[in-house]
Each structure stands twice: as structure tokens, then as C-alpha cells.
Chains A and B, each alone.
Chain A
Amino acid sequence: MGTHAELEAIVDRYSGESTALLQILREAQEIEGWLPPATLTCLARLLEMPRARVEGVAGFYSFLHIERAGRYRVLFSDNITDRMAGNSELLDRFCNSLWLERGKTSEDGLALVDTTSCTGMCDQGPAMLVNGWAIPQLTPARVDEVAELIRSHTPVEDWPAALFQIEDNIHRSDMLLDASLEPGAAIRAAATSGPLATLEAIQCSNLRGRGGAGFATGLKWQSCRNATGDMHYVVCNADEGEPGTFKDRVLLTRYADLVFEGMTVCAFVIGARKGFLYLRGEYRHLLAPLQEVLARRRSDGLLGNDICGQPGFEFDIDIHLGAGAYICGEESALIESLEGRRGIPRNRPPYPVTHGYLQQPTTVNNVETFCAAALIALRGGEWYAGIGTGKSTGTKVLSVSGDCVRPGIYEYPFGVTVRQVLEDCGAQRTQAVQISGPSGTCIDATEFERRIAFEDLPTAGAFMVFDESRDIFEVASNFVHFFAHESCGFCTPCRVGTTLLRNVIDKLHKGKGSQHDLNQIFKLSRLLQSASHCGLGHTACNPLLDTIKRFRPAYERRLESLEFEPAFDLDGALERARAMTGRDDAGAHLRTDE
């Protein structure tokens, strides 16, 4: 374990706050690459909390290891786009060259190799994370290079910087990505017109949240402003876990000032003094640059006390790093995580606007929403309302990946057709597009005239393209596995339901399915939609329902019969007993054709 003094230093850096538990655990893990039992015990003592709570949190997040995990933790991103780019072959190659078995820490404690959910590098995949640091554009040569660095025990800090080079790939920019805002301009504009007029501008812009649900931002800010509490909080949701989405990464890389500007404007409107940026663990590489931006803004008087010379306007922002849990993108789970707990969604209502962080009024918005809000504060709501469509004003930043010549970032005014996006990114012979990730919608070629807009195809940004060479069943299967892996396990319908769905899809994958299994999918989907606790469970069936509707033959050709097929290989299940007893008589076998 880390020495008592080392752990004490970490805890002290966070002033012993229990809310910082996740951050403390993350840093404590860096000492040895995992969290040995003695470390958990020591932290529990230092933080004066039950050990069970410490271990409970450590056990929840997939990037925290409570079992020995090796000096190098190598996680291959396993989104469908990584698969299409050949991640499985690269993973095998990597394991072979290091003599490792996937999912098992090597006996010498050198390395652990496994897969992880989409790491948000879909435009430059396949990608991996090494001890939390992203390496994109994997090729056999790059994989061999990484293996060699590990074999030679080179510390990750000393690896060639070129490995960690991440591209922005902005291919189409519009009013948001073109904006060159002078830091502080939007805050000064808001300060000049006052909080109420600024709120009014946000309302009149009809800005809707960019995180997926499309809730009216003005209304959210107003409810939060009007809610009573000791403190108000602003939270920026940069968890960006939806597979296929990476636009927040680029916004935070290139437009961090705009994001913080939007958060500060929000603080001014709702009366908050404290804000958080919840950054997904996969974007660990952005932590230091973002902290630099925050430091610069503090020294420029854009954060801290009397911001922009406004007496009494006080606001600052902390960055909280996640640890590999998609569910923490759900706003109430995110708040739990911010408070240093397992990321389990809360009961809603009450909503965060009245009972958020520490049960205080809290505004949670997506990264892109804050960017748009900053521009609205500067240029006015009417200007903004003039862009896009009636119900979807402004622009949308899309993360385009999959089968196309130019994957990357595309910004369009709302209302753009899918066909237009496909043309711009150089997609050919397109079979299907997954809009807004696994929890969104899969459309086929008859629907490419549909529009990206809340009134037609709402999206949080993902736009994954599949050409005619792809088996859509594989796509759906990848997404079903994603949900089963990311279910937080709190409620039974989703915890068990997503696993049952995965079992069904695996059975179909082996060509052992029957009509009964397809019926089972519909039954499970009704159950998940009606009985799950949060949005993850509600949407976990979408990929199956959408693709069964549009690509039914992809399923039908995997059916063994139209009636019923057992869930497992009956005769194979007797193999072990045959071996133990040495029997091979007729009674020692089960026929499958009965």
C-alpha cells in the first residue's frame, strides 16, 4: 500500500472532504496501480468514514481496481467503431506479444489488458488507455511499440509524446466553432445587462440542452435561480460517455474558455459561487490543460472574487475527474459521484434544480449548452433564435465516425438532413446511421432525408455511419453488451434485464436462436421501459428494437428454428461428468434433435 504519509498528503490536499472520495481514491491508486485493502482501511480512517463506504465507492468505478491490476493497465476501447477498425486483432496481437491473457493481471504484476467502453476517440480509433492516458490511431506497429515500452518497464511519463497526440478533426464549423470570443466578453455583456435580462436572453433564444434530453435551458436556469437554498451550484456535464460521441472532448480542447465563460454566465444568473466540471476519466489528458485555463482565468479576474470588476460577483470552478462509469453522465448519478459516492441515479423528482449537489439548487448542463449560452449572453437571444428550426434553435456539433472518408467534428444549424452530413463526410454506400449513440435511433437508407432536430431526430451528437459491408446485427450486439456492462446494478429490471438481453443476443450470435428468443426481446424491452429506475434502462432496448424493425433478416438468418431452442448446449453440459466418470454410453449423452 501507499505509506500512511503518502495517503495523508492526498487526503490533506482535499482538506479531508468526504465529497472528494473519488478524487482521493483515484490519486491513491496512482501510487501502486491498484487500491490494496490496507490502503482502503487507511483512507477510511483518515476520512473518518466507514470502510464499507470507501470500498463501495472503489468497487463501483471500473477504472479503480480493488484487485491487483499491474503496473500498466491497458484498456482497449471497444465501441463498434473500434471493432470496425480492427481492435480485436490488435488486442490479440498485443496480448500475444506480452504473453498475457486478456482480463488477467500477469503473474509478475506487470500488466493488465482488457477492454473498456467507448473512449471517445471514434474518429481516430482504434484507441486504448494506458494507466488512464489515451492513445489513438492504433496500428500493429503502434501496438508493438507500446508492448515494447511495457516490456522495458519504461514509465508512462517517459513514453514518446507522439503516441498521445490527439487530433481535433474539425471539418465543418458554424457559428459556435467559428466564434472567436475574447475571454470575459460574455461575462461583461451579462454583467452590463444584469442577471434577469441575461436569463431573458437565454429564454428567448429557445436554447435546449445538448446532452440528449433537450430540456429548455432558460427554464432550467430560472427554476434554479428561484429555488431557495444556502448555496447554488453550476455543474458542467463533460462525462460524454455515449458511444460515438466526442464533440465535448474537442470543445474542451479548443474552446475551454467558451465553456467556462458559459458556466460563469450561468453562475451570474442563478447566483452560484461554486461550479464543477465533471470530466470523464477517459479524458484524463485534458485535466492539466483545463486547469491551466482555469488558473489563467483566475489571474485575469474572470474567476474568483469581484469577477470582471463586479463587486460581490464571486465564482470558481473545480474539475472532478470521473473513473469509467457511463451512468455518471446521468445528471443525478453525476451529482452523487461529485459528492464522493457510487454513481447511482437518484429518485427524480426532486430534480437537481431544487435538490442537487449537497441537496442545494444546482444547474447541470452539457458542455455544448454552456458554449451556446455564452454566445447568447454576448449576442442576444433573438440572434440565436434566428438560426436552426422552429423547435430547435442554433447549431448542433456532431461527432461523425464509422464508414466515411472524413470522420470528425461537423457543426450544422439544426434542420440539416442526414443525407447532407453523409455527403459532407464522404460516406458511400451507406446502409445505416446510428444517431445519438446506442440510446438513440438507428435509421436506414430510406430515411436519409430526415433532419437532425428535436422535432425529428434528436441527438446528443453521435453520428455513426455503417456502410453496406457491415452486419447490422454486430452493431446491435455491441450496443447490447455496452448496456449490460454499464448498467449500474441498482434496480433489478435493468441489472438483470440488460444481462438477459445480452444472453439472448449471444445465443443468436451463435446461430442458436429461435422465434421465441425474438419474442423474448420484445417482452424484456417492455419490462425495461416500464420498470427501470433511470434513462439507461429505458433506452437499453433501443438498438435491438430499431434494428429488428429495419434489418430483420440480419436476425432471421441466425435462427436455428422457428419455435424454441435451449439456451445452452445440452450434450456439452454433460461433458465434464462424462470425463469424471469415464462414461460414454447412450445415457451419457443428450440428443439435441429431440
Chain B
Amino acid sequence: MNDAAQPKVRVATTSLAGCFGCHMSFLDIDERLFELLERIEFDRSPFTDIKHCGPCDVGLIEGGICNADNVHVLREFRKNCKILVAVGACAVNGGLPAQRNHIDLGECLEEVYVTEISLAKGCIPNDPELPLPLDKVHPLHEVVKIDYFLPGCPPTADAIWKFLTDLLAGRTPHLGHGLIHYD
């Protein structure tokens, strides 16, 4: 079969309220990346620096939703991606950033920008350029419909590889034993 004749699967990725650890784990598939690039091409992604997502087959999202901008980006992905995947604990559950959910947002901002001794003394930034934080950090599926969840912090390179190869082969992704670790 002539692979070249098959159109490539278009993939977009982004990091919202995450640490880029999931993207790093993605890169950890190492030389398998070449194999993957035969089958896929990247749309909006830190790998391409394309600013806005166009029509895609798959969207991979790392990180949860902590501010208004995250909501806009997530909605853009949902509008354009046939399949949307929550990658990593932050996207699936809110993860580490959601630790702040126990603290009142007002107190949080006060402490960071006003009472804490820091370089920029003064006030809570209010420039309209800046996205406003939500009062709580939320997982992706509370804002848009998510089709698949890839757990782990981060999911291992093998797990990401297995997930993507299953998806490309038309199989329902199944990680199974050994690829999901919680400890």
C-alpha cells in the first residue's frame, strides 16, 4: 500500500494550566517520532508555533482550565478537532494547579501581589491584556466534551505512543496493565 497517498492525520497540541511535562513525555517517544511524523502532521502546537488551530483530526491537551484564556483555547480546539484528548492528570482532574481550589482566589491574589514581599510592590494586575483567573481550576471535561482521557503525571512515552498508534490504527485506545501507573 502506498502510504504517501493517504492524507496525514492532522494533530494539534497545547498546554493550558500544565507544566509542559506531558509535552516532554510526548517527546520522550524519541526516534519513534520519525515514524509518527510519516503518519501525522502538526497544526497548532508548541512544536510548530502556529498560533491558532485549524480543522484537525486530533487535539491533545495538557493541563486543566485555570483562566479565561484557557477556556477560549479549549473551545477553539473543540471547534476544530474531531477527537479531543485530555492528556495527563491536570487535564483529567485539574491536577497540581487545582491544589489552589482550597484557597479563596481573592486571598491568593492578595498574598501573591500585595502582602508578599516581592519585586513588584503594589497591586493586583488589572491590564485587560491579561486573562482573568477562574475562582477554581477545572478539568477539561467540565468545560467541553472530551472524547478520551489519557491519565498519568505525565503519561509515559510508551503510554502516549500506545494511545496514538491505537488511534491511528482505528482501535479504541486501550492502555492496559503496565502503562497506567499511579505510584
Contact = CB atoms under 8 A, between A and B. Distances in A.
Nearest to A563: B145
A31 interface: no
Interface stretch (B15-23, B34-42, B126-134, B171-179): B126-134
Given A564-B145, A587-B68, A590-B68, A573 B124 contact: no
A563 B145 CA distance: 9
Interface stretch (B5-13, B50-58, B136-144): B136-144
A576 B135 contact: yes
Contact of A573 (B104, B110, B131, B135): B135
A577 B133 contact: yes
A571 B106 CA distance: 16
Interface string A334-377: 00000000000000000000000000000000000000000000
Nearest to B139: A567
Contacts of B104: 576
Contact of A570 (B109, B133, B143, B145): B143
B100 interface: no
A334 B138 CA distance: 38
Interface residues of A, number: 23
Contacts, number: 62
B124 A574 contact: no
A594 B105 CA distance: 25
Given A563-B145, A567-B142, A570-B143, A576 B126 contact: no
Given A566-B142, A594-B75, A576 B106 contact: yes
Contact of A577 (B71, B105, B143): B105
B64 to A, nearest CB: 13
Contacts of A162: none
Contact of A580 (B124, B138, B142): B124
B71 A590 contact: yes
A414 to B, nearest CB: 47
A577 B132 contact: yes
A578 interface: yes
Contacts of B142: 566-568
Interface string B51-84: 0000000000000000010010001000000000
Contacts of B131: 587
Contacts of B170: none
B65 to A, nearest CB: 9
In this complex, the member of B132, B136, B142 whose beta carbon has the largest number of chain A beta carbons within 10 angstroms is: B132
Given A580-B106, A581-B125, A574 B138 contact: no
Interface string A554-586: 000000000110111010011111111111010
A583 B104 CA distance: 18
Contact of B132 (A564, A567, A568, A587): A587
Contacts of B126: 581-583
B143 A579 contact: no
Contact of B145 (A516, A573, A574, A583): A516
Contacts of B105: 576-577, 580
Given A577-B105, A581-B125, A581-B126, A588 B132 contact: yes
A585 B128 contact: yes
A570 to B, nearest CB: 6
A587 B126 CA distance: 11
Given A585-B128, A587-B128, A580 B75 contact: no
A583 B75 contact: no
A184 B106 CA distance: 70
Interface in A251-273: none
Given A566-B142, A567-B142, A580-B106, A574 B134 contact: yes
A578 B132 contact: yes
A575 B133 CA distance: 10
Nearest to B133: A577
Nearest to B106: A580
A577 B109 CA distance: 9
Nearest to A564: B145
A568 B140 CA distance: 12
A575 B126 CA distance: 14
Contacts of A580: 105-106, 109-110, 124
A505 B75 CA distance: 25
Contacts of B138: 567-568, 573
A39 to B, nearest CB: 28
A570 B131 CA distance: 14
Contacts of A578: 132
A516 B68 CA distance: 23
Contacts of A573: 134-136, 138
A574 B132 contact: yes
A417 B71 CA distance: 55
In this complex, the member of A563, A574, A579 whose beta carbon has the largest number of chain B beta carbons within 10 angstroms is: A574
Nearest to A566: B143
In this complex, the member of A576, A577, A594 whose beta carbon has the largest number of chain B beta carbons within 10 angstroms is: A577
Given A568-B142, A590-B68, A579 B132 contact: no
Given A566-B143, A568-B142, A587-B131, A579 B71 contact: no
A583 B109 CA distance: 14
Interface of B: 68, 71, 75, 104-106, 109-110, 124-126, 128, 131-136, 138, 141-145
Identify the 4 closest CB pairs spanning chains A and B, nearest first. Answer: A567-B142, A581-B126, A577-B132, A573-B134
Interface of A: 516, 563-564, 566-568, 570, 573-583, 585, 587-588, 590, 594
22 contacts: A516-B145, A564-B144, A566-B143, A566-B144, A568-B138, A570-B71, A573-B135, A575-B135, A576-B104, A576-B105, A577-B105, A577-B133, A577-B134, A578-B132, A580-B106, A580-B124, A581-B125, A581-B132, A582-B126, A587-B68, A588-B68, A590-B71
